[in-house]
Amino acid sequence: MSQQAELERTVEGMPNWPGDGLTRVPYWVFQRDDVYAREQEAIFQGPVWHYLCLEADIAEGGDFVTTFVGDAPVVVTRDSEGAIHAFENRCAHRGALICLDAKGKGKKDFACVYHAWTYDLTGKLTGVAFQKGVKGKGGMPPEFKISEHGPRRLKITALHGLVFGSFSADAPDFKSWLGPEIEPKIGRVLAGRKPVVLGRYTQVLPNNWKLYVENVKDSYHASILHLFFTTFELNRLSQKGAIVVDETGGHHISYSAIDRKTNTASADYAQQKIRSDSKYRLADPSLLQGFDEFNDDVTLQILSVFPTFVLQQIQNSIAIRQVVPRGPDRTDLHWTLLGFETDTPEQRLTRLKQANLIGPAGFISMEDGCVGGFVQRGVRAASREQAILQMGGSTAESSESRVTEASIRGFWKAWRAHTGI
């Protein structure tokens, strides 16, 4: 069956999408193998940009890291001229991983361990062991041309120290991919200073990757699920703040800033009788004593680039989150915690302390780590039922209010456009 035919068949096999397309999401999208396969094809190997690593991870020629774009293992390298390359970590011969290490330095080329086919730092096949055979016997036939083979290579782009790649030649220009609103806010956090990796870990999520992405884009839950935000006024819906959703719907920014006017929030909260407005206080409040890093009073900026990249500023806790699907009900969330060369020792210590807010043990993020599993289990028998996404209306537009699911609707708008589901 042709690839195209295969695709149509796949999409056809699925139930119809309920409702108007953005305010209802059928739970089968988090459960079905065919949906997962379609996503791999249309999104992860499609004309979409995916975060690969930091430029700082491959600072020098010969440096490399391995990562994943969806299910695909990928090698990212920097060559001696300083150019960045990425290619599928799959030998052109019979498919073994070309590179077994998570990272390394001083690499000149890659030799597959199985039969020593060799690749340069660009992923180009440069050698086939015994291509001419031994003593003129065996070897590859003359019609075999090394130049015609090699792993799939990714298109590469870099911005503010972030490296993105795409398997598809049709991936749009990265700037237009991001649109006018996203790039400056990435710049706000990363531009003009040298990042230092402070830490790395992986959180294994017991749920479909899209449930985590919804969570990231979900400004509605922040003040309700996370007691820390509200109690310590890291984030109040009544603070200044807004949601930005780009034109495609796929990217978003949610931010909040200190509202120096009298804060009427408590009243609002009282009305909702939300458990998250407790009288809870810290014994060592130094945990939350931050410094004004951006001179803009913005205490929180969560930014996502479709489909699986997140850049986080929570006070002075700066981190990148890379979402990697591992199956319909399992997701790897890779955290990279950042500081900057210019950090003073006090600032650095502040970042180390605020790291307690994020990651698997994060006072905030631990809850985002389990709530996706609560949904995956909650909808187990409800593949024909639907989620309701009407908070803040039915569109996927930017809004001053963060009591909205606009950016989640935006995600589905982009996801449906890409998958055709």
Residues at the interface with another protein (CB under 8 A): 100-102, 113, 197-206, 225, 227-228, 231, 278, 280, 282-284, 286-287, 332, 337, 339, 348, 351-353, 355-356, 359-361, 363, 366-367, 369-371, 373
156 binds, among ligand FES, its own copies, another protein, none (CB under 5 to 8 A by kind): none
Size of the site for its own copies (CB under 8 A): 87
- Measure Cα distances from 267 to 241, 271, 273, 328 in Å: 18, 6, 10, 41
Choices 281-289, 296-304, 395-403, 413-421; region in contact with its own copies by CB under 8 A = 395-403
Q: How many CA atoms lie within 13 A of 79 on its CB side?
A: 12
Q: With CB cut-offs between 5 and 8 Å by kind, which of its own copies, Fe ion, ligand FES, none does residue 77 bind?
A: none
Alpha carbon distance 104, 85 (integer Å): 15
82 binds, among another protein, its own copies, Fe ion, none (CB under 5 to 8 A by kind): none
> What CA–CA distance (Å, rounded) separates 310 from 253?
10
Q: Which residues bind Fe ion (CB under 5 A)?
A: 368
Q: How far is CA 275 from the centre of its chain?
A: 30
Q: How far apart are CA 295 and CA 299, in angstroms?
A: 10
CB of 153 to ligand FES, least distance (A): 16
| 123 to 117, 119, 250, 326: CA distances (angstroms) | 11, 5, 30, 25
Q: Tell me which residues in 346-405 interact with ligand FES (CB under 6 A).
A: none
| CA nearest neighbour of 198 among 383, 86, 332, 343 | 343
Print the binding letters for residues 56-95 with ligand FES: x by CB under 6 A, - otherwise: -----------------------------------x-xx-
Task: Give the max Cα distance, the chain.
Answer: 87
Q: Spell out, one character per residue from 96 to 135, where the chain touches its own copies: x when CB under 8 A holds, - when not.
A: xxx-x----------x-xxxx----------x-xx--xxx
Q: Which stretch binds its own copies (CB under 8 A): 177-185, 308-316, 332-340, 367-375?
A: 367-375
Q: How far is the CB of 166 from ligand FES (least distance, A)?
A: 24
CB neighbours of residue 391 within 10 Å: 17
DSSP label at residue 80: T
DSSP 5-19: HHHHHHHHTSPPPPT
381: tokens are 């028998």
Amino acid at 199: G
How many other C-beta atoms lie within 10 A of the C-beta of residue 226?
A: 21
Q: Does 139 bind ligand FES (CB under 6 A)?
A: no
In three-state secondary structure terms, 134 is strand
CB of 394 to its own copies, least distance (A): 7
CB nearer to its own copies: give 14 or 196: 14
Partner that binds at residue 368, options its own copies, Fe ion, ligand FES, none, CB closer than 5 to 8 Å by kind: Fe ion
Among another protein, ligand FES, Fe ion, none, what binds residue 91 when CB lies within 5 to 8 Å by partner kind?
Answer: ligand FES
CB 241 within 8 A of CB 257: yes
Residues listed for the chain? 421
Stretches 78-86, 109-117, 241-249, 358-366: which one binds ligand FES (CB under 6 A)?
109-117
H or E element at residue 110: strand 109-111
Q: Looking at beta carbons only, is 137 or 279 nearer to its own copies?
A: 137
Candidate list 300, 371, 396, 421; residue touching its own copies; CB under 8 A: 371
Write down the least CB distance from residue 84 to another protein, Å.
21
The footprint of ligand FES on this chain (CB under 6 A) covers a number of residues equal to: 8
- Residue 165 contacts its own copies per CB under 8 A: no
SS3 61: coil
The partner in contact with residue 93, picked from Fe ion, another protein, ligand FES, none with C-beta cut-offs of 5 to 8 angstroms by kind, is ligand FES
Please calculate the CA angle 198-199-204 and round it to the nearest 5 degrees: 155
367, 372, 373, 375 alpha-carbon torsion, rounded to 10°: 120
Enumerate residues 202-231 that contact its own copies by CB under 8 A. 214, 220-221, 224-225
Sole binder of ligand FES in the list 117, 209, 306, 363 (CB under 6 A): 117
Q: Shortest CA distance to 305 belongs to which of 292, 321, 291? A: 321
Residues that bind ligand FES (CB under 6 A): 91, 93-94, 96, 112, 114-115, 117
